[in-house]
Structure formats: C-alpha cells, structure tokens
Amino acid sequence: MKIFYSKRFHFMRSSHTGSKPDRRTRIALCALLLILTGCTGEMLQQWCSDDRPNWSAGIPELITSPVPGRYQTGAVRLTLYNNADCAIERINIRFGLFDRTSGLSAIPGNGLMEAVSNVTIEAGSRSELEISLDPWLYQQADPAWLIDYLHFPEIQYRGGSRWRDPFAVWRLRGRED
C-alpha cells in the first residue's frame, strides 16, 4: 500500500486494483461506521439476539377520572402477562403522553415518564398495573392524549435474573380511537 502526500491532504490508496482493504483499514472503517451510527455493543447485541421477552402485555389505557385514595389526575392501566418460568418482582416502566392532534408532549420537558412497580407476578399468571400520573400532572388527564413509547427498560425476576430493553425495541402504544 502506498501513501501519497500533498501539502493539504494525505490519503491511502491500494497499490493494485481489485484488492481488499487490509485488516487495519477494515477495523477503522467498522469503528467509523459504529461511531457515525451511534451503535454500541449493547445496542447491537439487543438487535441481533433472539432474546425475546418472557412477557406479553395488553394495550395500555389512559384513565382520566380520579380514584380517591389512589390517584387524582389519572393513570395508565396495563395488563402484563408473565410467560417466564419464574416470578417477576420488579418492573421499570417508561412511557410518554402526547396530544393526538398536535403530536406534542402533554408533559413539560422530554415528555417521558418513568415509574417502578414492585408488584409480584407469578410465573404463568397476569396482573393489572396502574401507574398514577399524580407525580407528573397538576391537572386532570385529557382524554385526547395518547400513550406512546411505553416500554420496560428492565424487568427483574425472582432469583435476580433480569431482562433488559434499554433501547425500547419492544414498545407499546395506546389505543388511537
């Protein structure tokens, strides 16, 4: 491989046509591709693995009427099925609320809310989760809002094993009716 220099630029060129780039060039090109696309090893592992979730969920529903003693501004209700061989002990939940007509966030900031549920869902069973909107809202939830981007960044199972989805590959959306 010859290296050609000029006053302002330098570049590499193969000494004969039709050859493959050498190992260092291929590694540099792969690293550049990963940097430019923002991919990390964890992201590639998530996309390329067959690590399907051991859970399934119903369509999330926005509850706009208060329930005394539980929540005042509204809640997000969701049925979660545990298809794993062991019980779920902790669930991290992340979701956003958006105006259906404008598409803008209903919550100031980035619009994403995160909650933790310490509910126990035994293997092979289901549970209805209700996430109160009281920590984020100071007014009644609007029926025109849409639940979007609901996902579980981490689910912890009995015995300490965890299922992770930090990039929301497995996400849910509320009803659009």
**11 to each of 2, 3, 7, how far by Cα in Å?**
9, 6, 12
CATH of the domain at 72: 2.60.40
The residue assigned the tokens 């006053």 is 7
In the predicted model, what is the mean pLDDT of residues 162-172? Answer: 88
User: Band of the pLDDT at 23, cuts 50, 70, 90?
Assistant: confident
Helix (H) / strand (E) containing 118: none
CA distance 47 to 37: 14
Looking at the chain, the number of H-run helices and the number of E-run strands are 2, 11
- Given this model, what pLDDT does residue 99 score? 86
In the predicted model, what is the mean pLDDT of residues 118-141? Answer: 92
In this structure, the answer to whether residues 96 and 31 fall within a common structural domain is no
- Structural domain including 115 reads 55-172
- Given this model, what pLDDT does residue 175 score? 73
**38 to each of 35, 43, 119, 136, how far by Cα in Å?**
5, 9, 35, 31
Prediction pTM value: 0.69
pLDDT beyond 70 at 33: no
CA distance 160 to 125: 19
In this structure, the answer to whether residues 9 and 79 fall within a common structural domain is no
Residue range 103-121, pLDDT digits in tens: 888 887 777 899 999 999 9
In this structure, the answer to whether residues 63 and 134 fall within a common structural domain is yes
User: Band of the pLDDT at 128, cuts 50, 70, 90?
Assistant: very high
